């Protein structure tokens, strides 16, 4: 994939389209998470945040934590704060706190093992966290574009 024209994306009125194009570019750079070391620090922050949003929108926190995206749950709290999405960071922090000691294991297998106890039938905590997330108290797209603009040289 060719590097997108950052100036055009930042000037576009299609904010969602700009985010999608940037996300596709960053995902291809890191081979869809297989080579995160190829990303700059700002690109990693963007990647972590997009992974969170993508997974939560597709299957809630259960999907987020059961996939590779959950390996970076703590880094994602930091990356959300880095773009100014403190309310969304607080939601993910609260979700992370459900794991023993508030520590989300890096290992997908270990997370899945723990999740059997964390997601009992009728547990409304996860529904509450997802409802809070879907309220989008932070305008993630606008915050991401401002972050990209401030870190233009890294994209």
H or E element in which residue 145 lies: helix 140-150
Instruction: Map out the domains of the chain as residue ranges.
Output: 6-154
Q: State both tokens at 103.
A: 């520590």
The number of helix segments (H) and strand segments (E) in the chain equals: 8, 0
Q: What is the pTM of this model?
A: 0.94
What single string gives the DSSP state of each residue in 4-37? P-HHHHHH-S-HHHHHHHHHHHHHHHTTTTTTGG
Residue-level pLDDT at 121 = 63
**Fold annotation for 6-154:** A middle domain of Talin 1 (1.20.1420)
Helix (H) or strand (E) holding 60: helix 41-66
The overall average pLDDT reported for the chain is: 95
Terminal Cα distance for the chain, rounded: 13
Contact 104, 48 (CB under 8 A): no
Q: Is the pLDDT of residue 2 over 90?
A: no
CA distance linking residue 79 with residue 112, whole number of Å: 24
Say if residues 155 and 7 touch (Cβ distance below 8 Å). Answer: no
Question: How does pLDDT run across 105-128, given as a tens digit for each residue?
Answer: 999 999 999 988 887 765 688 899
Task: Report whether 26 contacts 50 (CB < 8 A).
Answer: yes
The answer to whether 108 and 69 have CB atoms below 8 angstroms apart is no
31: buried, middle or exposed (CB in 10 Å: 19+, 13-18, 0-12)?
exposed
Structure tokens at 119: 């997601």
Contact 69, 81 (CB under 8 A): no
Report pLDDT for 126.
87
């Amino acid at each position: 994939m060719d590097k997108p024209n950052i100036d055009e994306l930042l000037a576009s009125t299609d904010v969602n389209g700009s985010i999608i194009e940037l996300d596709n570019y960053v995902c291809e750079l890191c081979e869809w998470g297989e080579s995160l070391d190829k990303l700059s620090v700002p690109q990693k922050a963007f990647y972590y945040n997009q992974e969170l949003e993508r997974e939560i929108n597709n299957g809630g926190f259960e999907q987020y934590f059961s996939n590779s995206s959950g390996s970076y749950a703590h880094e994602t709290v930091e990356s959300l704060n880095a773009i100014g999405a403190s309310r969304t960071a607080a939601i993910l922090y609260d979700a992370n706190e459900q794991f023993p000691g508030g520590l989300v294991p890096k290992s997908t297998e270990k997370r899945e093992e723990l999740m059997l106890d964390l997601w009992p039938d009728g547990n409304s905590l996860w529904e509450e966290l997802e409802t809070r997330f879907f309220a989008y108290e932070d305008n993630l797209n606008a915050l991401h574009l401002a972050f990209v603009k401030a870190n233009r040289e890294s994209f």
